[in-house]
A and B are shown apart, each in its own frame.
Chain A
Amino acid sequence: MPEHAILAEGIRKNYGEKRALDGFDLAVPSGMVYGLLGPNGAGKTTAVRILTTLVRLDGGRAEVAGLDVATRPRQVRRRIGLAGQHAAVDEVLTGRQNLRMFGRLFHLGKKRAAERAEELLERFDLLDAADKGLKEYSGGMRRRLDLAASMILAPDVLFLDEPTTGLDPRGRNEVWDSVRSLVAQGTTVLLTTQYLDEADQLAGRIAVLDRGKVIADGPPESLKRLIGGDRIEVVVTDPANLSAAAAIVARVASAEPEVDTTAGRVHAPVTERVAALTEVARTLQDDGIGVEDIALRRPTLDEVFLRLTGHRAESAGEAPEKEKVKA
């Protein structure tokens, strides 16, 4: 196993005039979950499609499991699994028939393909539904079957392209649990997502992608520190108390609180989330400051972008939004 399961250097990919990837660099150490975070159109899917040999790169180079994707695509395909944005399984076949078919196409013998199907059905908790047609599967079950199909060869590197897009919270949790169990077995996972929360939940390291480039990367904690992490937010009933509230918030905050006078709101990043919330709530009450709302908030992807790039998350190709919005 090479040191880096995925290594991308200066990848460029154009679709006509549009630059999908523009000097994309990535180094994913073996055995970890790496989150690739970015809005629609940032180039996440293009990156995955290049690394999984589905599209050719226009420039730069990429290695997956130590093999060059441009010159040795067949060998790369034997070492990767891909679960894309659709549950790419046959809707007419049953779950069991799907896994056996994909097993055969991964060149397992008939008997081995059947055994592997049973192992995966059990592991992804699909045995009860194994002989049902996929029309009877929920969204979460389909994605789990999709994950199972991508795991048939026990790949060195697994690519999950927005694995929970379009799922309800329950389906999302089901998929997250499955991903965690894969990670426990040492598979390297590259996960793309639009949700900071998802990257935070699953990934040991996160790269933020904007307009075809990685603009920040690091462990979730450092990234969150960089962008301010969780924030405490207080909305006071009487705007006259705003500065008093800001002073209280400042005591627990890890940076200067920001004050929004029109909304009567003060917010600031915090590190000790619950302690900060309790402290602020208690002090506000002791000082008799009326509070409309008090909450801990995770930064949204929009805010991450705002912090990192100074522009809002946007689809690539649109004109960049120049104005810097102060929250």
Chain B
Amino acid sequence: MNVQAKTADDDALGARLYWAAADCWTIVLRGLTHYVRQPSNIAWQLGFPLVSVLLFGYVFGSAMSVPGGGDYREFLMPGMFGMTMAMGFMNTAYVVVYDSSRGVTDRFRSMPMSPSAVVTGRGVGDLIGASLDLVVLGLTALAIGWRSSGGVLDTLTAFGLLLLLRFALIWIGVLLGLLVPNEEAAGSLFAVAFPFAMISSAFVAPSLMPDWLGTIAMWNPVSATVTASRELFGNPAAVGDTWIEQHALLMSVVWPVVLTAIFLPLAVRRYQRLSR
């Protein structure tokens, strides 16, 4: 039973990079297997945006107006995409706390696997999951009459920006997942995620809110991504004349870069502190 021989020369740099990628992929496959074995989870995850489409698009929709004109549902759908990306960090946090509270993280850390793979696998897996979310939401949007009048490149760029936001929030999710003690506490992160997604331009133009709230909403990173994607989709964007609204496209790149620059090191540090 010689099962050790194969791992003998793992320490060369090339081997380490190879295993970092291979282990990352194993963790990604684990995440995808979760989707396959628990299809109901996808339903839960998409339930909130789909119900929101129904509520805002149809229940409140007729009472909603878009400053500068335009169809509210056209305005709403990119907001829906943005909200789903924004709230996705809760899934990341949930899985991280699930693994650490059950000793799975410790098992990984006691194994000769690449230490970075736990986090990179999480990140790649979350982005694949977020892409699936966007496919389902996009098809739903098409079904209720939403269209992108932007070109193929602009449309893909818009989806790319949405995923970029989700990518930046992975690190907040990992950090929070390492900070909260258990899954119940991770569930209560909804109280943070909900206003984070809603106090933005996702549902209502910030110019229609009270000044102080509108300002917060405008500077919310979610707003930059949503407004930029509206512009790229050619949907009504209700852009006011403030600097932040005028520069949504720029900020939809700047915000994720800034968030990643702050929270990726914090998450890595927190992960390393597990060995204190």
Contacts and interface: CB of A to CB of B under 8 A. Distances in A.
A89 B99 CA distance: 9
B125 to A, nearest CB: 13
Interface string A83-110: 0111111111100010001101111110
A154 B33 CA distance: 27
Interface stretch (A29-37, A73-81, A238-246, A282-290): A73-81
B110 A154 contact: no
Given A85-B103, A88-B104, A52 B110 contact: yes
Given A82-B107, A107-B10, 14 more contacts: A53-B110, A53-B275, A54-B109, A55-B274, A56-B276, A92-B33, A102-B111, A105-B108, A106-B113, A109-B6, A112-B3, A116-B3, A152-B3, A154-B1
| Minimum-distance CB pairs A-B, first 8 | A88-B103, A86-B103, A88-B107, A105-B113, A77-B112, A82-B110, A78-B112, A104-B26
Nearest to A156: B4
A88 B106 CA distance: 8
Contacts of B1: 154
A323 B37 CA distance: 57
A149 to B, nearest CB: 7
Contact of B38 (A89, A92, A105): A92
Contacts of B247: none
B35 to A, nearest CB: 10
A84 B107 contact: yes
A58 to B, nearest CB: 10
Contact of A92 (B6, B22, B34, B113): B34
A133 interface: yes
Contact of B111 (A77, A84, A91, A133): A77
B147 interface: no
A149 B106 CA distance: 13
26 contacts: A53-B109, A54-B106, A56-B275, A56-B276, A74-B11, A77-B112, A78-B7, A78-B112, A84-B106, A84-B107, A88-B104, A88-B106, A88-B107, A90-B30, A91-B102, A92-B37, A102-B111, A105-B26, A105-B111, A105-B117, A107-B19, A107-B113, A108-B6, A133-B37, A149-B107, A153-B4
B96 to A, nearest CB: 14
B108 A80 contact: no
A177 B102 CA distance: 24
Contacts of A88: 102-104, 106-107
Interface in B6-24: 6-7, 10-11, 19, 22-23
A154 B1 CA distance: 8
Contacts of B276: 55-56
Contacts of B106: 49, 54, 82, 84, 88
Interface residues of A, number: 39
Contacts of A133: 37
Interface string B70-89: 00000000000000000000
Contacts of B6: 107-109, 112
B231 to A, nearest CB: 40
Given A90-B30, A133-B37, A107 B110 contact: no
B260 to A, nearest CB: 26
Contacts of B10: 74, 78, 107
A93 B104 CA distance: 13
Given A78-B4, A106-B111, A106-B113, A89 B30 contact: no
B13 to A, nearest CB: 13
Contact of B110 (A80, A90, A152): A80
Contacts of B33: 92-93, 97
A53 B30 CA distance: 24
B26 A154 contact: no
Interface string B27-41: 101100110011000
A101 B30 contact: yes
B37 to A, nearest CB: 5
B110 A77 contact: yes
B37 A93 contact: yes
Interface in A273-305: none
Contact of B30 (A78, A79, A85, A93): A93
A282 to B, nearest CB: 52
Nearest to B29: A101
A314 to B, nearest CB: 24
A209 B110 CA distance: 23
